[in-house]
Structure 1
Amino acid sequence: MSLLKTSTVNFENVWQKMQPPLTSLVSGTPQTLTNEKWLEMYSGIYKICTNPGAPQAEMLFFRLRGLLVNHVEAILKELNEIDGEPEFLKHYCSSFEAFATGTSYISELFRYLVG
């Protein structure tokens, strides 16, 4: 018997709880993610992806994709406003490092989905 069972889930409620920590992960300003919060996010992803009533896994993919695209576009806007090569490179490197680290954590949340 699995500890995680399929159940009907309200996508918007789960997404609203997950979006702030996901955003903070990719922005390099992570909130303190307690074990409880991490488990809540992991369980939310599981419930969304196993929800028998609706294609919510696809909705989750597009919401996460949108979050990542919006973040990268915001970085691009910031970079376009920077005058001077040293400042540009410093901001680019710090943004890239934060994004890469954050997305590696996010990929861990979805790891079990790829087998």
Structure 2
Amino acid sequence: MTHVEFIQTRKTPPPNTINIDDLISEFEAQDAEAIAQGRQWVAGTFYGDRLSLAQLRLKNGLSQAELARRVGTSQAHIARIELRKTDPQLGTVKKIAQILGVATDVLVNAILMEE
């Protein structure tokens, strides 16, 4: 049996560029309240009364990254939950519900409603 190891090297970014996550963090640091209000506007305008994890998160003015930080997980994990690519553990559901200020059963229904 042959063992093959794949090594992925990270390319050096071109000069005079900025990482998108760094750019967003910079904007959030400058005007966090306005960005939170923008997220709330998106929740009301585009999600309305349609219950989903994304709607609850945006209604609270949170990015996926900020929710992930508060939960103690990664932004990618929150994205996978929102996209129904993974089912979160009960402990994660409880943490998210507490952070978003909703009952656990409401959050479970929101996750199940994601499409």
The TM tier, using the shorter chain, reads under 0.3
Q: State the structure with bigger RCO (CA 8 A, min sep 6), 1 or 2.
A: 1
Q: Which has the larger radius of gyration?
A: 2
* Greater share of helix: 1
Q: Normalising by the residue count of structure 1, what TM-score does the alignment of the two structures yield?
A: 0.27
Q: TM-score, normalised by structure 2?
A: 0.27
